[in-house]
Structure 1
Amino acid sequence: MALLFGTIISLAFVPWLLVKAWLLPLPNTIQEQVTEAVDLGLDGIIVYVETKGKPPEFHTAGWHDRKNKIPANPHALYKIASISKLYSAAAIAKLVNNNQLSLDKTLADYFPELATRIENADKITLKMMVQHRSGIPNYTDTPNYWTYPTESYQSTLDLILDKPASFKPNSDYEYSNTNYLLIAKLIEKTTGKERFQYIKDEILTPLNLVNTYGSLNDVNIETVMGGYHVGVEDDIKSSNYGSMIATAEDVGIFLRALNDGSLFKDGGQEIYSSIYKYEHGGWIPGYQSHAKYYKETDTVVVQFNNTTDSELYYWNLSEIIFNRIAKILNDNEHK
């Protein structure tokens, strides 16, 4: 009886809607899948699909602005969050290729002022930082960080200074936004330009990407897709967490150039391949995204959706939707 009661309690906490999303028959088209995603609880979704040799496709469902009932706009600006790490890693590859940085130099070499403030600074290499193998604690793990985000490099860095390392350098992997906070500052120290300005000059302008921005402060807020977090009634798109802003199409064009090597016309592709991955997801309150290149179909897929929760239920739902879209593309390719 006790075992049965325990089983009933366990079943009560199974995320049945996720099970449903996973088990539903696969639609024939991406648009059907996008519409189904909204039926499953997402407020809005944008999907960009670009297959080599074909015109790009744009699919949307749900809301750009939930309160005013403005439909999702395929060309809306969006907070891409950690997808921006692909741009930063590409910038590092370019600087290493130009002999302006070395992957083997240490955090202490580049930031001597942090030698006694970050554990193992003399053993953490730039490569380890790019690959999240440094052991430096993640500042976004600070309690209540997303409720009270910091507003400057120093106030953010202060959250982890003098804290013990998560592990010895290169002995493990732990995703840490602090690595990329330091990488952004290193790009600035090396080039004399802010990270985004260097990315704009070396990556965006050569690719003619005019719908990618460094900050929410650089855009008309009305052009940004609304962001919604469970438990918060209002649209939170005006909350500034420091994310880059871009359209799905701009992210897709960048991702293809990153994967086919055209981003590194002056060299650097081999360096990039040795330090970082070619796909990424992103999450900040109100916004979650996925960007991936599928070699088997020579296709880039970018998915933006604007519903989040603290338990990451909606993150899991968005991953299920993204994987189902890939399955639809693969099935259609082999028909």
Structure 2
Amino acid sequence: MHKRYIPVISSMAFACLTVILSGCSFGLQPLPSTVQQQLNDAVDQGMDGIIVCVNRPNDIQLYAAGWKNRESQIPADPHALFKIASISKLYVAAATTRLVAEEKLSLDKTLAEYIPEVADRIEFADRITLKMMLQHRSGILDYSSEPEVTGETFDDYLSFAARIYDKPAVFEPNKKYRYSNTNYLLIGEIIDRTLGYSHHTYVRDELLTPLGLSNTYNIPDEANMEELMSGYLKGWEPDVKDWEYPLPGGSMIATAEDVSVFLRALIDGTLLSPEEQAIYTSVYPYEHTGWLPGYTSIARYHPDIDAVVVQFVNTSGKEIYWLELKRLYKRIVRILEMNYQS
């Protein structure tokens, strides 16, 4: 597999530093009465395109505003595909949970036992367990914080992980929590070795197909790119839709509706058995955010209104812009709370 992987999380750090915000500040505006009005306002303040899905029992509502493709002036389509980035980790965690329940994996087995060749390359590999990696308590350095090496190529997951080899751990295993994409890169490798085939196939067969999620794809090569929403990075004019990110825990593409159906099934016991549910609850949350250049996403369940709310925005920027995206999401939830509780 001699393919050029573009480590887009780290390679565009220079562009993020040049971000000039459009000045949007949702906290200073009155709350509109409908979700659609709020999306329209957000687009007016500089967001390129937005999709929102509200999944309540027997009722799924979809909203969209702005552009699916800015250059061609194609309106945002609520059924468009989207790069869900780290929301993909929910699917990997669920797959790992099932394999643990089937006794094909063990939460207490160490990284060194699963992948012996990293024993001397990743600090504390003989003490880091699968459970710690799932929970982001391994202390393993996040590869996305490391600079891209000019001209480097990646034949497999471990050749990508090599950028963090022989570097100090962030902390000793299980001492703290710190999010690291490397954890899920290694978990993808572990699952592949355990199964003897790609974890993508396992996710599709065990999680996606039973739920009828025909608009969810493990990697970009599986999807129809014409259906994919374009992505835009603040301070970087061209569409970044074609930038590749095929690594475990961040590679998936889906519609907002499919993500909402998956998350609800993950929470309500439709997807997992009681044993699997107990394992999952012990290792990972039932929500996630996602970030890739041009693509930001939030998926959460809100028990007070019994709703899964998924927000996709095809605009990304530096940290202060992410705060605006979170403010938008909170305002959408507040509108839903007012409407459903009135």
Moved over 3 A (4+): 15-18, 144-152
Whether 1:271 and 2:279 are equivalent positions in the alignment is: yes
- Relative contact order, CA 8 A, sep 6+: which one is greater? 2
Mapping 1:183-198, distance limit 5 Å = 183-198=187-202
Whether 1:159 and 2:163 are equivalent positions in the alignment is: yes
CA distance in 2, matches of 1:296, 1:194: 38
User: Who is 2:295 aligned against?
Assistant: 287
Letter in 2 for 1:52: P
Whether 1:85 and 2:89 are equivalent positions in the alignment is: yes
8 Å contact kept, 1:106–1:126 = yes
CA offsets 1:74-102 (integer angstroms, 9 cap, x no match):
01111000000000000111011111111
CA offsets 1:280-317 (integer angstroms, 9 cap, x no match):
000010000000111111101111001112x2233211
Mapping 1:5-16, distance limit 5 Å = none
> CA 1:145–1:259 in structure 2 vs 1: closer, same or farther (change >3 Å)?
farther
User: Who is 2:49 aligned against?
Assistant: 44
Q: How far is the alpha carbon of 1:147 from its aligned partner?
A: 11
Larger Rg: 1
8 Å contact kept, 1:146–1:285 = no
**Partner SS for 1:268:** helix
CA distance in 2, matches of 1:249, 1:326: 17
Letter in 1 for 2:241: K
Letter in 2 for 1:34: L
Whether 1:332 and 2:342 are equivalent positions in the alignment is: no
8 Å contact kept, 1:115–1:121 = yes
**Partner SS for 1:250:** helix
Whether 1:138 and 2:142 are equivalent positions in the alignment is: yes
User: Who is 2:327 aligned against?
Assistant: 320
Letter in 2 for 1:323: K
> CA 1:149–1:112 in structure 2 vs 1: closer, same or farther (change >3 Å)?
closer
8 Å contact kept, 1:83–1:282 = yes
Whether 1:106 and 2:110 are equivalent positions in the alignment is: yes
Letter in 2 for 1:17: G
**Partner SS for 2:275:** coil
User: Who is 2:34 aligned against?
Assistant: 29
Q: How far is the alpha carbon of 1:144 from its aligned partner?
A: 4.6
> CA 1:116–1:220 in structure 2 vs 1: closer, same or farther (change >3 Å)?
same
Q: How far is the alpha carbon of 1:190 from its aligned partner?
A: 1.1
Q: 1:255 aligns with which of 260, 263, 275?
A: 263
8 Å contact kept, 1:21–1:40 = no
Letter in 2 for 1:316: L
8 Å contact kept, 2:22–2:45 = no
CA distance in 1, matches of 2:152, 2:212: 36
User: Who is 1:217 aligned against?
Assistant: 221
User: Who is 2:239 aligned against?
Assistant: 235
CA offsets 1:114-162 (integer angstroms, 9 cap, x no match):
1111100111111100000000000011125899896741331111011
User: Who is 2:23 aligned against?
Assistant: 17
CA distance in 2, matches of 1:24, 1:83: 29
Identity of aligned residues (%): 52
8 Å contact kept, 1:140–1:146 = no
CA distance in 2, matches of 1:250, 1:314: 26
**Partner SS for 2:327:** helix
**Partner SS for 1:290:** strand
User: Who is 1:9 aligned against?
Assistant: none
The runs of 5 or more residues in structure 2 that have no matched partner are: 1-20
Letter in 2 for 1:284: L
CA distance in 1, matches of 2:162, 2:107: 25
> CA 1:206–1:308 in structure 2 vs 1: closer, same or farther (change >3 Å)?
same
CA distance in 2, matches of 1:137, 1:171: 14
Q: How far is the alpha carbon of 1:173 from its aligned partner?
A: 1.0
**Partner SS for 1:67:** coil
8 Å contact kept, 2:51–2:77 = yes
Letter in 1 for 2:327: I
How many residues in Structure 1 have an aligned counterpart in Structure 2? Answer: 319
Whether 1:179 and 2:187 are equivalent positions in the alignment is: no
> CA 1:50–1:134 in structure 2 vs 1: closer, same or farther (change >3 Å)?
same
**Partner SS for 1:324:** helix
